Each structure stands twice: as C-alpha cells, then as structure tokens.
Amino acid sequence: MPVSEFRLRRRVQFYEVDFAGIVHFSWFFRYMEEAEHGLWREAGLSIAAHDAGLAFPRVAASFEYRRPLRFEEEFDVSIRIAAIGEKTIRYACEVTRGDTRIATGAMTIACVSHRPGEPMKAVAIPASFASRFQVATE
C-alpha cells in the first residue's frame, strides 16, 4: 500500500538549543528531513540508495515559526506528501507539541541521475519508487 504521511516523536536535545534554551531555527529543517527518511523507510525505500544511480537533492525548503520549542520538550514532526510530479516530490511538514502548532514547513526534492563523472540531471522518478507513494488527503 502506498505511503502518504509519517509521524515522528522526538525530544529536544541540549545541543539543539541556543543559550536561551530555545531550539535554533536550523534544527527544524533537520527534523523535517528525519521525518522524510522515516517516510521513505515506511515505503520500503531508502532516499540514499547507493546502487540506484539516483539522488534526491532538496530544491526548495521553508519554515514558518509560531511558538518556541525548549530543551527536553517532547514534540511530533508530521510529514505528508503534498504533490508528486514527474521529477519532483513536495512535502508539507508540521511540528506540534500536543495540540500546539509550533511550526509549518515545506520541502521539494527532485529526482536526478547520479553517476560518477557525470553531471547531475533531473530525470523522471522511476515507477518502482513513485508507486510506493501517494499524495496525502487533507
């Protein structure tokens, strides 16, 4: 069955916070990527399969911050597939602490050929990959 979303539960670590004990903005991108990897594993795939001759670089990423996260707080990172194109996948992400929305984000990845000695070039997402995913219903 195709996968459309994934939820990850985490706890804020000390090295993720600034001197005020608040998570540095850059960590939200790491949280989103960690959830993305979980989504791919749930689909039975690896986003970094070394033998596939493909790579999935990020071509766009953004976050909007609403509330701070602090040291040792538990939170959830939810990622869902917002769109699948011929060569790209766009995700929507939400970081929550209980019922409180902390941040929302988006990321787009592109499928590229990745072979030693050759420049990367955007290519169609192979059917064997695309068939494992579906756009999430809102």
- CA separation for the pair 81, 133 (Å, rounded): 8
- CA separation for the pair 28, 95 (Å, rounded): 8
**Nearest C-alpha neighbor of 106 from the set 78, 134, 71:** 78
Question: Is 51 among the residues known to form the active site?
Answer: no
DSSP-assigned letters across all residues of 33-80: HHHHHHHHHHTT--TT-TTSSEE--EEEEEEEE-S--BTT-EEEEEEE
113, 123 Cβ separation under 8 angstroms: yes
Token code pair at residue 44: 């039975």
Look at residue 129 and give its three-state secondary structure. Answer: helix
Task: Please identify which of the residues 18, 51, 76, 99 carries the catalytic annotation.
Answer: 18
Catalytic residues: 18
